[in-house]
Amino acid sequence: MSTWLFDLGNSRLKFAAPGDGSVGGIHHVDHDGSRFADGWEQQLPPRFDTAWIASVGAPGLTTALVDGLCSRCRRVSFVRTQRSFGGVRIAYADPARLGVDRFLALLAAHARASGPSLVVGVGTALTIDLLDADGVHRGGRIAPSPTLMRDSLHARAPQLPARGGSYAAFADETASALASGCEGAALALIAQSMQAATAMLGTTPRVLLHGGGAPALLPASGDAIIAPALVLEGLALWARALDPADGHRTHG
């Protein structure tokens, strides 16, 4: 039975077919919040069995994704955040309030290795979630990502470029000053979260960086580990835990 995994975020769609314990061959499709680029479905096989979707995108865009899949696959299923799944227990009193992308990233982080993790997603938003060694989610933080900061500044002050520049302690031109300020704000929040996490747990967690903006932060993030497919890894774990034939769910 062939399966494809779909991670629909606020700025792009990522999808892949899961392999043996890994996710490879990831496809990326940008969107404007209402529609995908023409012909994106051509990256999929003509027919497959199951599509698993994790979506934080707008309802209309999610519907467009489903419409594009229905002619190709037999079954479309959505992932929802659970209070407890795959050895992870969510901190939120109402688990449905935790974005499914954050939930799946926590599943993948817990499955990767023992020990606590600070899971940092860098997309439209900057999300930071703390997971202890027992799989207990200790909560998280949400802030604007560097990209969103720059877009917001550019919208209010068009003379400030939305892109370009390089990170520096003290930049000598405007584009780099913007890159340094916005990326520096994200790095400072991650560093402060690391300090708080270490004080809370009595040990220093590893940092896992994922999302489209993660590579830009990696050079100044110390020993952080880049994990670009973390949400899809969690989605693969979800798909393996549920038998599509009978819908039985395996909890851990």
pTM listed for this prediction: 0.92
- Sheet with strand 12-18: strands edge to edge: 23-30, 12-18, 3-8, 48-55, 73-78
Co-location of 90 and 166 in the same domain:
yes
**Range with the lowest mean pLDDT among 90-99, 133-142, 168-177, 233-242?**
233-242
Domain contains 240: no
Cβ atoms of residues 178 and 186 within 8 Å: no
pLDDT of residue 244: 47
Q: Across the chain, what does the average pLDDT equal?
A: 92
Co-location of 99 and 149 in the same domain:
yes
Residue 246 above 50 pLDDT? Answer: no
Percent of the chain with pLDDT over 70: 94
Co-location of 50 and 98 in the same domain:
no
- The better pLDDT of the pair 21, 66 is held by 66
**Range with the lowest mean pLDDT among 12-21, 136-145, 223-232?**
12-21
Domain contains 243: no
Overall number of domains in the chain: 2
The stretch 203-218 carries a mean pLDDT of: 96
pLDDT of residue 20: 65
Q: Kindly report, residue by residue over 180-203, the tens digit of the pLDDT.
A: 999 999 999 999 999 999 999 999
Q: What is the pairing mode between strands 48-55 and 3-8?
A: parallel
Co-location of 66 and 117 in the same domain:
no
Residue 117 above 90 pLDDT? Answer: yes
* 178: containing domain: 84-233
CATH number at residue 122: 3.30.420.40
Residue that is last in its domain, among 56, 78, 100: 78
Co-location of 92 and 132 in the same domain:
yes
Co-location of 71 and 10 in the same domain:
yes
- The better pLDDT of the pair 41, 103 is held by 103
Domain contains 250: no
Co-location of 208 and 89 in the same domain:
yes
pLDDT of residue 245: 46
Domain contains 165: yes
Co-location of 72 and 105 in the same domain:
no
Pick the closest to residue 78 from 89, 86, 69 (CA basis). Answer: 69
Domain contains 159: yes
Co-location of 69 and 97 in the same domain:
no
Domain contains 91: yes
Give catalytic residues, as residue numbers: 101
Residue that is last in its domain, among 59, 78, 97: 78
pLDDT of residue 206: 97
Co-location of 115 and 220 in the same domain:
yes
Co-location of 13 and 120 in the same domain:
no
Domain contains 247: no
Q: Kindly report, residue by residue over 152-182, the tens digit of the pLDDT.
A: 999 999 999 999 999 999 999 999 999 999 9
Co-location of 95 and 207 in the same domain:
yes
Domain contains 130: yes
